[in-house]
Structure 1
């Protein structure tokens, strides 16, 4: 297990990573903010789904999900159709125009990363992707399964009153 100082440095780097995310968001089309991109990506990855499932995958409230869905439906990037199993529910589906928009977002993101990482070797880029995937996997699917706090975390978060 790494020393505490290594984790503290990771916390600092995660904070600084916000600048990378902001720059990636700035290169998106004006009518496709990061929430829209997330919805398009999830529909592409997981296929047709109910709005409740989308909200779960986004880890946001249904009201936020509804706003994202309305925005995308207005642009005809997704369609909402009645759920055959429950007519009160809607099934969300990526449209061909939505697929084109998502392809454009990936093209822009890929181009930006290629520009910013042009002095990195292929091995370094591969290693970064591998480590990011491993980090994500270490956190598991925090949306659906509560994870118990580790003993080290419990020790650092205890107050004198709780010991």
Structure 2
């Protein structure tokens, strides 16, 4: 079986595992993907880059109107806050609220627990090698995407 097929199987299995434990789910996968890209207001004040809706749509490969609906939902749930961009009054910048930060932290911990439990029978060398190789693949894919 080719690597791409193995990766597809791994992602599908992870998705099923996350869905099976959805009773404890804090965030949907698409919401989590958006929220992990947003800084907290104090991080921006300390020099972190601001995030705009159009940047998120591009990063996630979504149509701006789809991203707009997702952001409206996250705003109404109190997970994000929007402010007028100080450098461009026509645009908005997005921040995690404290509730959004708590939700991301909770969901991240849930996901770590699911993976940690799944790898419980693996020896330390195998888990370290898997982490190293996945990191390398992610870096390579990220570099490939930035040049196209």
Please classify the TM superposition score into its range, dividing by the shorter chain length.
0.7 to 0.9
Bigger shift: residues 134-143 or 33-42: 134-143
Is 1:16 aligned with 2:9? Answer: yes
Alignment partner, residue 110 of structure 1? 112
Is 1:39 aligned with 2:23? Answer: no
Cα distance in 1 for residues equivalent to 2:116 and 2:139 = 25
Q: Which runs of 5+ in 2 are unaligned?
A: 41-47
Native 8 Å contact 1:80 1:93 kept in 2: yes
Q: Which runs of 5+ in 1 are unaligned?
A: 1-7, 147-163
Give every structure 1 segment of 4 or more consecutive aligned residues whose post-TM-superposition deviation is greater than 6 Å.
Answer: none
Aligned length: 139
SS of equivalent residue, structure 1 residue 67: helix
Calculate the TM-score normalised by the size of structure 2: 0.82
Calculate the TM-score normalised by the size of structure 1: 0.75
Cα deviation, 1:39-89, whole Å, max 9, x if unaligned, reads 111114965311111112212221221122111111111101111122221
Change (3 A) 1:68 1:16: same
Change (3 A) 1:32 1:47: farther
Cα deviation, 1:88-133, whole Å, max 9, x if unaligned, reads 2111001111110001001111111121111112222221111111
Native 8 Å contact 1:27 1:108 kept in 2: no
User: Per chain length, whose mean CA-contact separation is higher, i.e. which structure has more relative contact order (CA < 8 Å, sep 6+)?
Assistant: 2
Supply the RMSD in Å over aligned alpha carbons: 2.2
Shift in Å at residue 12 of structure 1?
2.1
